[in-house]
Structure 1
Amino acid sequence: MNEKDWTILQTIYEERNITKAAEKLYISQPALTYRLQQLEKEFGTMIVARGKRGVEFTSEGEYIAQYAVNMILQLRNTKEYVQNMGHEIKGVLRMGVSSTIARFELPFILKEFASLYPNVEIHLKTGWSTEINHMLHKEEVHLGFVRGNYVWPEGKYLFREEPIVIVSKDPIKNIKDLPKLPRVNYETDQSLKTTIDNWWQETFETPPTINMEVDRIDTCKQMVLMGLGYAILPSMCLLKDEDVHKIKITKKNNKLITRKSWLLYRERSLSLSPVKAFVDFLKEYPNA
């Protein structure tokens, strides 16, 4: 087996489908099938069982696939360590970022960071905060930006804390009227949904009047800007020049309800110059 074989097994293991794996690897399906058959001959065992819904790994295949995943990780870590043995800040920085931060904050951060460190190659993945947390635990990324509170035993830096606000095109004169007003709801991660739901149940005796359900926070905001209802959003999503009215939500003791953004990383990753440079840079970033 070699690095190419490791990548083939890892991809099939992730996709559980020969056709999709071949597309992802940019090789033909017959070529991928042939190489898989050669690996099965090499190990003297069946690695996958083929069915109508894709492929399932045998117990031997599971063991071999996990070996391939571990070897890819070890090789990547070795390459990154060697790249960082010099004094110049260069190499690959792999980060996972919450979609909200990626949309509203990250472009400005990366533009400034890239101007300071042009020899750093940034590999970026976005998703829900739960997905980013999972990437960190699997060591798929060096560092991750997540929204909400996550248990993380290593490096952790509070990057942002902003209020959660009721947003509307026209002023809401009395917050007690909210249950009767049309609300635009959006798909979000469980931690934010729970925070908003808990505040609502603490504040009102009746459920909200939700007249729209959308899949993205961006879409929700546009509906609000068109006057189609109000929404409850983290203020990171709002630009300074947007013509909206905002009311910060609070607990019964008048304490603001906020949304936190964290930078998470492994301490040993700081031995890599791009990671350390980024962590240090972010801690000095304006308004961080």
Structure 2
Amino acid sequence: MYENRFHIGIVRGKPNWNGMAIRLFADQFYLVDREIWSLDQLIHADRPFIQFKSDSTYSLHIQQWWHERFRTMPVRTVMVDQIETCKQLAYHGVGYAILPEMALDDREQHRVHLIPLKNKHGEWMTRDTWLISSETAWSLPQVQSFWKVLRQFSPLS
């Protein structure tokens, strides 16, 4: 990306990019669990927090939220390598997870409680997805065609 070997990139989180950056959408975070229905229950819960290996900005975002709210980290944590594994463990009652909205399965949501997360200012916790490009690449006809198609199918902000 930084060697300018691409025309368009789609990046989650805040891109460290000097070229064009267009915010495509925001993905809201939810605490997902079969037993916990309120964030106030977390401080007394003996259930494990199931996390998936993710990019450092995602993990830091969740850790900052947790520390703002509870001042300590979860007592028990299970780390898995895939977001799907994390989701399935939460859906099957093994523990709770914090997942982005796009990872949730509409057909299975009746099995769990979905608690939207807010930061200390009362704002929804989200992760943005961005389209990035250089000014030169943006002027290419194939890039403009891709952008036209993307705009037809995306809730662009």
What is the TM-score normalised by the length of structure 2? Answer: 0.87
| 2: CA distance, partners of 1:214 / 1:152 | 30
Aligned residues: CA RMSD: 1.7
Cα shift at 1:204: 0.5
Conservation of the 8 A alpha-carbon contact between 1:159 and 1:262: yes
Q: What code does the residue aligned with 1:275 have?
A: V
User: Do the aligned partners of 2:24 and 2:154 also contact (CA within 8 Å) in 1?
Assistant: no
What secondary structure is seen at the aligned counterpart in 2 of 1:191? Answer: helix
Match of 2:36 in 1: 172
**Hey, what does 2:97 align to over in structure 1?**
231
Which letter maps to 1:270?
Answer: W
The 5 A counterparts of 1:147-226 are 147-168=12-33, 170-179=34-43, 180=45, 181-226=47-92
Aligned to 1:284: 152
Mapped partners of 2:39, 2:126: distance in 1:
18
Aligned length: 152
Deviation at 1:202, TM superposition (A): 0.6
Are the aligned partners of 2:28 and 2:100 in contact in 1 as well (CA < 8 Å)?
Answer: yes
| 1:278 CA displacement | 0.8
The DSSP-based 3-state class of the residue aligned with 1:287 is: coil
Identity %: 32
Determine the structure 2 residue equivalent to 1:86.
Answer: none
Letter in 2 for 1:280: K
Summarize the Cα distance change of 1:238–1:174 in structure 2 as closer, same or farther, 3 Å threshold.
Answer: closer
Structure with a larger share of its residues in helix: 1
Deviation at 1:223, TM superposition (A): 1.1
The answer to whether the Cα contact below 8 Å between 1:154 and 1:265 also exists between their aligned partners in 2 is yes
Contact 2:24/2:131 (<8 A) preserved: yes
Structure number with larger C-alpha Rg: 1
